[in-house]
Structures are given as structure tokens and as C-alpha cells.
Structure 1
Amino acid sequence: METTDARRPPVRLLAAWAATRLVLLLFVFKVYVFPGPDVTTDVSVIYQGWYGVLRTGSFPLDDVTWQYPPGAALAILSPALLPFWDYATAFFVLACLADLAVLLLLTRAGRRPGRTPRGALVWTAGVPLLGPTVYARYDVMVTAVAVAALLTAARHPRAAGALAALGALLKVWPALLLAGERRRGSWAAAAVTGAALAALSALTLPGAFAFLAFQRDRGTEVESLGALVFHVARHFGWEGEVRLTYGSVEFLGPYVGAVSTAALALTAAAFGWLLLWRLRARRFGSRTLAEAAFTAVLMFTVTSRVLSPQYLVWLVGLAAVCRSFAASGMRLPSGLVLAACAVTVLEFPVWFAHVVAGDPLGVALLFVRNGLLVAAALTAARALWRRTVPSRTAASAPARSVPGRRDPVSS
């Protein structure tokens, strides 16, 4: 029989979570000033501005920085749940509560047969590595929905599909949670939930899908993998510039369009690999859904034209779910993601000025961070393929069975 104490998070883990999150809150509330640019202005200025527009009954159609699907309105409006605080304070508290929800979900999952508490440890350690940016963006809320979807999938596939659809309407990427899903019930629930929420958004607020045009027109952001081309080219006479546009710092100038197109081609290639994997995969286990989701999001993150620091919150959450399985094949990719988090906080916000300037320090940080993420994506893809796709030798070998004799292959 499971006791009440057994259902509670381990005291030391909860203490570590509380201590590290207190530090993050002290930074976002500016009790202490974190080095680099103020990361909280996205909440106090941009989000709060959107909040005012959304409350009038419309999406921010005249603001090109609004590049999110319609479900994002739920996150932006969420501080209304705590009307006794100002907008920024309420948002930071809700972000912290979403963080706590992920910890509790992972802790509970870690007690099931075949599971381990390492997932909760990865989340507890990984989030503070990114600094106060985690609580100054709504990505931690989306990650909480994604983690809930993956941890619910084994027992409640339809609920998991619905949660994945909700996550996709919050920030698109949770649609990749279904990359390794084979059950029709989960796909059907995702389709119905997604269609219903999208229709409701379009009917209630005008401009629900204006974000698609804004996303289409984006260039190459200075932290992305493709941006390394221009960071190096600037030292050899490239005549371009860095400018704040579409809500992020991007490169503008010769060949930027070509590099952005190449990034889209890499994304298409990643999608092609995932499709090939689905066609070839035969060995699906309890951990395959989480490992496929982690691999898919890694691949689409590193090939994106934009690679903002908060994207790593997604990866930490998915890595934590993968590590909650005792037989996880994602140990190395998860470790690489955590290492990338430690470098990310240095490139943003600590030394972001060096990144924008493209000096040796800034370029070195990007090479290391993006290199770690590329390595994580490649090793995750390799591990997923080897665990699920039978080798040609094994597939073509005839099955031999001798009565009364033990099969040496299975011993």
C-alpha cells in the first residue's frame, strides 16, 4: 500500500528546488540584479502590453512581435487569476507554480515501476542553469503542459493527445510530442482538441492566425546555428548589420535570406528523417514516446532560424521525462543539454553584448552552446534509431529453433 509519505517529494530534492527557485525569484523581483540586460522587460512591457490589447477582445494585430499561436493568449492573460498583485508579480508567481508542477509530476512518475527519480533531479538542476530568463518567459508554462502530456500518455492516451494539442496552440512545438505516438486514440483526441480550440479562438478574437505571416518574415537570429556564418563573416568584411526586428536581434544584409532558406531546408531534412524513422521503427517501448519527442524537438530547435535561450526550457523538460525511465537511452543527450544550459546563461544575458558585437568571446560562446546542442541532437537521433529500428542483419537472419535447446541469441 502506498503511504502518504511515499507520495511526497523527497525532502532534500524539494529543499534544493526551493533554494534554487528562491534565487531565481530574487533576481526577477530585482532584489538582486542579474548581470546583463534586464530579462524581465518582456513581462513588464511586452506581455503586459499584449494583456491590455487582449482584454479589449482582439489579438495584437499591429504588433509584429506577436508571433505566437492563439493559445498563447491564455498564458498572457493568466496573471488575471491573481488580481491582488500587479501584472509582473503575478506572472512570475505563476511561472514558479508551473515549475513546481513539473517537479511534482516528475517526482510522482519516478515512483512507478521501471521509473527513477533522476527525471526530477534533471529538472531541479537544469532550470536554474538558465538563470532568471526561465521565469521571465511563458515557456515554462508550455513545458508543464508538455511534461504532463508525456507522463499521462501510458495510462490515458486520449488525455495526452488533448494536452499535446493544447500545448501546440500555446507554442507550436508540443505538436512534436506525437512524433512517436502510434495509438489512434491519442491522435484523434489531439485533432479534435486542436480543431475545437483553433475554431474557438478564430470565432472569439479576430486575427488568431496573424502570427503565421509574422513568423514567415523573420530572418536569422543572432543566437541561431545559421547566425554563426555571419558572426564569422563579419570578421572578413561582410557588409551587413545587426538590428532588433520582429522582437529579437537578427542579422540583416547580403545572403541572410539564403542562410534562412538553408535553415528551413535543414528543418525539412529533420522532418524527413523523422518520417523515415517512423516508417522503419519496429521496437516501441514505454519510453519511446518521450525519447522520440525529445529527439524531434532537439532537431527542430537546432535547425531553427531562431534559437532563443528560453527554448532550452523545453529541452530540459523533455530530457527530464526521458531520464525518469530507468532504462533511458538519452543519458548522453540529456547531459549535453544541461551543459548547453550552463553556456546559454553566459551568452544570454550575462555576455549578450559580446554576442551582438560578434567579438571572439561572443562567437566562442555560440560555437560551444550550439555545438553542444547539435551533438545532443545527433546522439539522441542515433540512440532512438538503434533502440527502435532493427538492423538489416537481424531482420534478414532466419529464425532458428531447436526443440529442447536454448536459443543463444536470446540468452
Structure 2
Amino acid sequence: MTRSATGRVRPAAAVAALTLLWLLTRAVMLWLLTHDHLPWLGAGGVTHEPERLYTRWRESLDDGSYPSGDPLWQYPPGAGAALLLPGLLLPRLPYPWAFTALTLAADAAVTAALVRTGLTRHARGDGERSLLGALLWTAGLPLLLHLPLARFDVQVTALAVLALLVARRLPRLGGALAALGALAKAWPALVLAGTEPGRTTRRAWTSAGITAVTLLALLTSLFADALSFVRQQGGRGVQIESLGGTLLSFASHAGWPGRVRYQYGAMELVGPGVGVVAAASLTLTAASFALIVLWRLRVVRATRAAARAAAPHGPWDPALTHDAPLAAVLLLTVTSRVISPQYMIWLLGLSAVCLTLRRSAQRPVALLVVAATAVSALAYPVLYDEVVARTWTGCLVMAVRNGLLVAAAALSCVRLARLTPGRADEPHEGPGPASRGAGHAPTATPQGPPPG
């Protein structure tokens, strides 16, 4: 790469290198997709969804109804639009390839948006930007092998990433994009957890609410059984790849008599105590959500207190806009009953957004997410037979993957707490500009509990 006189890689060379890396890695992913029949690539399991499941659901949607009779349909109504688009936009292609083409287009849009953001300098006081986010997404997504090309999580993550990148400058657009993502897979609603209290939050959240209600009403009027997914979600159990599933898998080596069964589109554990583990997961998920809400209330109180005190710099750190959603989604991921490998696509996208900002406190968290992503590919599809059979190898792979996710969630919350308004210390150490509060007395705001 060509370097400038200051020793830094020139933007044009960096963009060219990222473009070449994207083209090479996506070509490899496409090759893997066409060779999905190989045993170590899943023996056809990865491509089953776009080739059969998504095709079947699309046919039901073409007939004007959500697949309410299918227990595998567990998605909010917006997912239907994601499944219809490939056939509508690329009608001449076989549906699975049209789906893959749209997935690659969404992937390219994420990469381009991260590159553009990384080349922006000192936007609205955010501090210096970085291309590390684009590098993480470009190099991190292929760690999941060809799985991202056979799931619609890339499209949903694209909406969440774009929402985060525009939320401060264009809060109404950010809110609308977050709502579109949430109507397909719920979790993108959390990208608004870190919006700056006041006008930005009001505009973003109002736009999200209006968009969600409008689109939901439209989908409900056009298709029958739009809310049938609620019933299917309620029946889900403990997936073998979840944290609770990993504990039960280890318990089988100590004599636990449970077994693995395919149900609700996943390999789930059944047997004595599974209901207790599922209830514990749901309780932890509810507690995590409550902590997110409490953290948000603390931020609002601290911001209002600073406004009343006419603080010259205020307590708000722009990095919170990016960092808070990653911490929130990590918390809800590790407490989930599922933790499918495609969840890592969400975390990669949110980590990439954090790394576009040099002030972000989530850099070590992003490294843990990348490591967990690599191990996820071992768990599925490479060693999935071992995981399902609950051999020691399968159990250890899942323990490492889930252990990395738990560590990432804990570290993310701790580092987010350092940025949270009301603390007396500096936000974090990093290569970015000094904290805006340097040289000023800390705001005398009561310090509440960290988010996790």
C-alpha cells in the first residue's frame, strides 16, 4: 500500500485493498455455497433454507398469507418482505440465487457505508474516524464460511448498521431504518438505545414508531396471519447451541438422560430440567432488558441534570450512540434460548460500527466477537455432528464459543459504564482525541448501576 509522508496508509490505497479483499473473500464464500454438499460444509444443511424453506414460505406469501401453519415460521411480519424481494427484483433468476444476489448487495452496501464513514473526519464532534470497522466486517463475515449468504440476517444487519451510521445526523432516517429492521428480526430496535437524549431521541424514536405502525398496518392488510409468528416463538425450547444447551450437554456426560430432537427449525434438547433451563433463560433475558432500560433512564437523568446546571461540555459522549447497542444486543444474545450461528452476523455488524469511531470503548469487545465468530463456524457446520451428538469435542467447542460471548458481553457492559454520564473518571484510554470533559470538574450526578 502507498503511504503518505506522515506514515499513514493513503485512503485510496486502503479503499482499493478493502475492495480487493471483499471481492476475494466473497468469491470464496460463493464457492463454498456451491459446494455445500461436502460433509464438512454441512452436507446440504446450510443451503436448505433458501432452496426449500424460504422458497416454500415465499410461495405462501405469493398466495397472500404468512405461513401460519408452519411451526418453523417464527419471524415478525417484515421478514416476509425480505423473502419476497429477491423474486420481485430478480424474477429471471432461480429463487435461491436471487436471494444470494440480494444478500451480496446488502453486504456490499454495509461495506461501502462503513468505508464512507471511516473516511469521514471529525463529523459533528464525534472524533476521528477509522476504516477498522470496514476491515472487521469485510474480513470477519467470511469466518462464518458460506452461512451468511444463505440467511437473511445480512439484510437485517444492513438496516441496523445504516441506522446507526446516520442516527446522529439524520435521526428520523435512522429511526425509520431501525424500525424496518425490527419488523424483520426485532433486535434492530436496540440500535436506538444509545441515541442522545433530547431532540435526537425524540425524532428517532417517533420516526421509528410511525414507520413500524404504518408498515405493520400495511402488511396486515395485504397478508393474512401476519402475527402468527408469536405463537411459534412461544413454543421454542432450549437450542443445543445456547448457553443453557451447552450446560445440559455437559450434564449428559454426568448422567443426565435428556436427548436432542429437531423441532421449531433447530436441534433442541428435551428431557427433565429443560423447562427450568428455558425459564431461567427467559428470566435472564427479561432482567437484561430491564438493565438496559435502567441504564437508559440513568443517561436521561444525567443529561437533564447537566442541562439544568448549564454544564459547558455536558455529559454526553458520542461513542455511546455506537457502543450502547452492541452491549445491549450482546446481553440479550448470551441469555437467549437459541444463539444460532447467524446471530454472529448481527454482532459483527454492530462491532464494525463501533470500530469506525476511534473514541469507541468497544475495541477489545470486537476482538472477542471476531474470535467467537470463528469458533461458531467450527460449531456449525464443520463440527455440527459432534455438537449434536454431545461428544466432548462438541461440548468444548460450544463452551469456548459461548464463553467468548459471555466475556464479550461482560466486558462490553463494563466499558460502556465508563462512558456513561455521571462518572468522574475519563471515558476510556484510546488513540482518539482527549475527553471533552478534560480540565473541568465532573458533573455531580448520582451514579447508578452499570448496565450489566
TM-score bucket of the superposed structures, by smaller chain:
over 0.9
The one-letter code sitting in structure 1 at the alignment partner of 2:66 is: F
| DSSP 3-state at the match of 2:316 | coil
Shift of 1:199: 1.1
Alignment of 1:75-86 (within 5 A): 75-80=82-87, 81-86=89-94
Shift of 1:29: 2.3
Distance 1:116 1:407, change over 3 A: closer
Alignment of 1:197-216 (within 5 A): 197-216=215-234
Could you tell me whether the CA contact under 8 Å between 1:28 and 1:92 is conserved in 2? no
Alignment of 1:189-338 (within 5 A): 189-281=207-299, 282=302, 283-338=315-370
Could you tell me whether the CA contact under 8 Å between 1:290 and 1:321 is conserved in 2? yes
1:92 to 2:100 alignment: yes
| DSSP 3-state at the match of 1:180 | coil
| DSSP 3-state at the match of 1:226 | helix
1:129 to 2:133 alignment: no
Could you tell me whether the CA contact under 8 Å between 1:37 and 1:350 is conserved in 2? no
The alignment's TM-score, normalised by the length of structure 2, stands at 0.84
What is the rounded CA distance, in whole Å, between the counterparts of 1:341 and 1:151 in structure 2? 23
What is the rounded CA distance, in whole Å, between the counterparts of 2:67 and 2:384 in structure 1? 28
Q: Which runs of 5 or more residues in structure 2 are unaligned? A: 1-9, 122-127, 303-314, 427-437, 443-452
1:367 to 2:399 alignment: yes
The alignment's TM-score, normalised by the length of structure 1, stands at 0.92
Distance 1:92 1:284, change over 3 A: same
Shift of 1:268: 1.3
The one-letter code sitting in structure 1 at the alignment partner of 2:111 is: L
Could you tell me whether the CA contact under 8 Å between 2:334 and 2:405 is conserved in 1? yes
What is the rounded CA distance, in whole Å, between the counterparts of 1:36 and 1:11 in structure 2? 33
Alignment of 1:29-68 (within 5 A): 29-30=34-35, 33=38, 35-38=41-44, 39-68=46-75
Match of residue 101, structure 1, among 95, 98, 109:
109
What is the rounded CA distance, in whole Å, between the counterparts of 2:440 and 2:189 in structure 1? 42
Match of residue 11, structure 1, among 13, 16, 20:
16
Shift of 1:229: 2.2
Aligned to 2:312: none
Q: Which runs of 5 or more residues in structure 1 are unaligned? A: 395-405
Could you tell me whether the CA contact under 8 Å between 2:383 and 2:394 is conserved in 1? yes
Shift of 1:206: 1.0
The one-letter code sitting in structure 1 at the alignment partner of 2:108 is: L
What is the rounded CA distance, in whole Å, between the counterparts of 1:268 and 1:255 in structure 2? 20
What is the rounded CA distance, in whole Å, between the counterparts of 1:179 and 1:48 in structure 2? 35
Aligned to 1:400: none
What is the rounded CA distance, in whole Å, between the counterparts of 1:239 and 1:32 in structure 2? 33
What is the rounded CA distance, in whole Å, between the counterparts of 2:47 and 2:176 in structure 1? 31
The one-letter code sitting in structure 2 at the alignment partner of 1:333 is: V
What is the rounded CA distance, in whole Å, between the counterparts of 1:108 and 1:8 in structure 2? 14
What is the rounded CA distance, in whole Å, between the counterparts of 2:116 and 2:13 in structure 1? 8
Aligned to 1:397: none
Tell me the matched-pair count: 395
Q: Percent identity at matched positions?
A: 45
What is the rounded CA distance, in whole Å, between the counterparts of 1:392 and 1:13 in structure 2? 40
**How large is the RMSD of aligned CA atoms in angstroms?**
2.0
TM-superposition CA deviations, 1:253-303 (whole Å, max 9, x none): 111111000001111111122122122234322221111111111110110
Q: Which stretch has the larger CA shift, 275-284 or 251-260?
A: 275-284
| DSSP 3-state at the match of 2:85 | helix
What is the rounded CA distance, in whole Å, between the counterparts of 1:127 and 1:64 in structure 2? 29
What is the rounded CA distance, in whole Å, between the counterparts of 2:279 and 2:13 in structure 1? 49
The one-letter code sitting in structure 1 at the alignment partner of 2:83 is: I
